[in-house]
Amino acid sequence: MPGMSESQYLKFPFSVGEDGPKTSSRGEHVREQIEQVLFTSPKERVFRPEFGVGVRRLVFEPNNAALRNSTVKRLNAALAEALHGEVDPRTLDINVSNKEEQLIIFISYVLAAINKQESHTFILGSPSTNAGGNNG
């Protein structure tokens, strides 16, 4: 593709600007892949029905240890497959916790090719749980 260097990937969701397709760095690309796995529901993709974890629906599930443990196992398997070659699967660390009405997903990993540690936190649920907490 003209104008793209070796370290650039097509941005997801795909978009085109005035100067051609928008791109992402390696780190941004991996985060975009993680978001696809997290927010795609199983059976949502016609030719890959097993793809995705569908964390949005977890907001409506009981907030307990069993849910968190099963979510960590599903995320670990789904991300190890989706990030194959990009992330060293031995470094994949996933933590699912809850705070009142929020589900908090923390994902940490090492980019395999450049040996760089990255981490991301995804918060699902009511953004109003902090209302009134900061009077500062």
Long-range contacts of 57-66 (CB under 8 A, 24+ apart): 58/103, 58/124, 59/103, 59/124, 59/125, 63/98, 63/103
**Which pLDDT does position 129 carry in this prediction?**
43
> Per-residue pLDDT for 116 more than 80?
yes
What token pair was written down for 97? 């916790």
What token pair was written down for 95? 């933590």
**Which pLDDT does position 66 carry in this prediction?**
87
**Which pLDDT does position 5 carry in this prediction?**
43
- Cα–Cα distance between 127 and 45 in angstroms, integer? 29
Give the predicted TM-score (pTM) of the model: 0.80
Domains delineated in the chain: 9-125 (3.10.450.40)
